[in-house]
Chain A
Amino acid sequence: MTDKEILELYHSPDGSQQAFNLIVRQYSSRLYWHLREMVLNHEDANDLLQDTFIKAWNALPNFRGESGLYTWLYRIATNEALTFLKKERINSKFSLTSFEHKLIKRLEDDMYFSGDTMQMMLQREIAKLPDRQRAIFSMRYFQNMSYADIGEILGSNGDAVKASYSIAYKKISSNLKKLI
């Protein structure tokens, strides 16, 4: 079912719950992996995914469909993750360990990490990026999203996103070359 058909179902009498369930089924997995790449922890990604869909449910009556459902949901999820990470950074200012160290420690302790050494090295390098740049890198590198879509999600333009991704890519590539 396309996004347009789902939205038509949503606006039909008694169709809202069914349409919402379809949205959840269609997008929960993709949004989860996006959030997981941002926060690097299953519990936090799960909470953020729930918050994302609750916000979407509350905002759906006012959704006019000017942007695609897909970018709209990604925008909510990305904002949730960025707000969460901002709070975490503020909290870590009062602790002795830096936020990057916390993220890396979280990654190393994660029982649901299923990658090899090289993938762990890559994740460590991604964790060192600023939050917004990490979101851009994750959406482009892992989910192969277009610069235009990423720009729409982040409220930026495609060229700025491309430049940011290019900087992140070179930084990570260079650091990985030194490590292997």
Chain B
Amino acid sequence: MNEKENNKTFFNDPLDENKLHQIPFSVPDGYFEEFEERLNATLSGQKQDGKWGALLRTMKASLALAASFLIIFGLGWGVMHLTKNVQNRAELAASTAEDAVIDSLMQEYGAIEIAKFYESDEEIDERELYLDDDYLDAIGEYVESASASYNGVLAEDFK
């Protein structure tokens, strides 16, 4: 008689078998003896957290939201700050270019007239005492073109 037939012979209801009422699992050696110790260690950690720990756990979501806001704000501020620096540098480059052109013109055409042209707060009539129109136009065009090319070179340097 094989095992299958044997089982059929001995019980009509398989669940009546006494052996089946026993839980067929085991645990690692010393599990229950060590469980109390492990649990107390976990609980003492929880107690050490204290009220602040409990408060932090409760406010976890709010803190995460606030931290996200600060990160976004910080990134925005950083980008704006960096962009502002780039603008400053571009302005600096432009003014430097113009100064360099003026310096070279001063050397070439006579410092006094050109310095007076650029630095005087007086009206144009007075400037005409020192420079005629054609001369002023020529200087203006030269400053404009030279400044533009100088800006290009400086812009390359500032990249």
* Interface residues, chain A, with chain B CB atoms under 8 Å away: 21, 24-25, 28-29, 32-33, 36-37, 42, 46, 49-50, 53-54, 57, 110, 112-116, 118-120, 122-123, 141-142, 144, 169, 172-173, 176-177, 180
B39 lies within 8 A of A112 (CB): no
Q: A176-B14, A177-B14, A180-B8 are in contact. Are A32 and B39 (CB under 8 A)?
A: no
Please give me the residue from chain B that is nearest to A119 by CB atom.
Answer: B24
Contact partner of B25 among A25, A113, A116, A169, CB < 8 A? A113
Q: A173-B13, A173-B14 are in contact. Are A141 and B21 (CB under 8 A)?
A: yes
Contact mask for chain B residues 21-52; partner A; CB cutoff 8 A; 1 contact, 0 none: 11111111001100110111011001000000
Number of A-B residue pairs at CB separation under 8 A: 81
Which residues of chain A have C-beta atoms less than 8 A from B8's C-beta? Answer: 180
Main secondary structure on B side of the interface with A: helix
Q: A36-B25, A123-B24 are in contact. Are A24 and B39 (CB under 8 A)?
A: yes
Residue B82 is within 8 A (CB to CB) of chain A in the complex: no
Contact mask for chain B residues 72-88; partner A; CB cutoff 8 A; 1 contact, 0 none: 00000000000000000
Contact partner of A114 among B14, B20, B26, B32, CB < 8 A? B26
Residue B15 is within 8 A (CB to CB) of chain A in the complex: yes
Q: How far is the CA of A37 from the CA of B21 in the complex (A)?
A: 12
Q: Which of B8, B20, B28, B36 gathers the greatest number of chain A CB atoms within 10 Å?
A: B20
9 contacts between A and B (CB under 8 A): A21-B36, A36-B23, A46-B35, A54-B42, A114-B24, A122-B20, A142-B21, A144-B21, A180-B14
Which residues of chain B have C-beta atoms less than 8 A from A144's C-beta? Answer: 21
Contact partner of A33 among B13, B23, B39, CB < 8 A? B23
Q: How far is the CA of A114 from the CA of B28 in the complex (A)?
A: 12
Contact partner of A113 among B13, B14, B24, CB < 8 A? B24
A32 lies within 8 A of B27 (CB): yes
Measured CB to CB, the closest approach of chain B to A50, in angstroms, equals 6
Q: How far is the CA of A161 from the CA of B35 in the complex (A)?
A: 32
Measured CB to CB, the closest approach of chain A to B109, in angstroms, equals 81
A119 lies within 8 A of B32 (CB): no
* Interface residues, chain B, with chain A CB atoms under 8 Å away: 4, 7-8, 13-15, 17, 19-28, 31-32, 35-36, 38-40, 42-43, 46
Q: Which of B28, B31, B39, B40 gathers the greatest number of chain A CB atoms within 10 Å?
A: B39
A118 lies within 8 A of B14 (CB): yes
B19 lies within 8 A of A172 (CB): no
Please give me the residue from chain A that is nearest to B43 by CB atom.
Answer: A57
Measured CB to CB, the closest approach of chain B to A3, in angstroms, equals 18
Q: How far is the CA of A120 from the CA of B27 in the complex (A)?
A: 17
A54 lies within 8 A of B43 (CB): yes
Contact partner of A119 among B19, B35, B42, CB < 8 A? B19
Measured CB to CB, the closest approach of chain A to B130, in angstroms, equals 86
Which residues of chain A have C-beta atoms less than 8 A from B35's C-beta? Answer: 24, 28, 32, 46, 49
B25 lies within 8 A of A114 (CB): yes
Which residues of chain A have C-beta atoms less than 8 A from B24's C-beta? Answer: 113-116, 119-120, 123
B38 lies within 8 A of A50 (CB): yes
Which residues of chain A have C-beta atoms less than 8 A from B43's C-beta? Answer: 54, 57
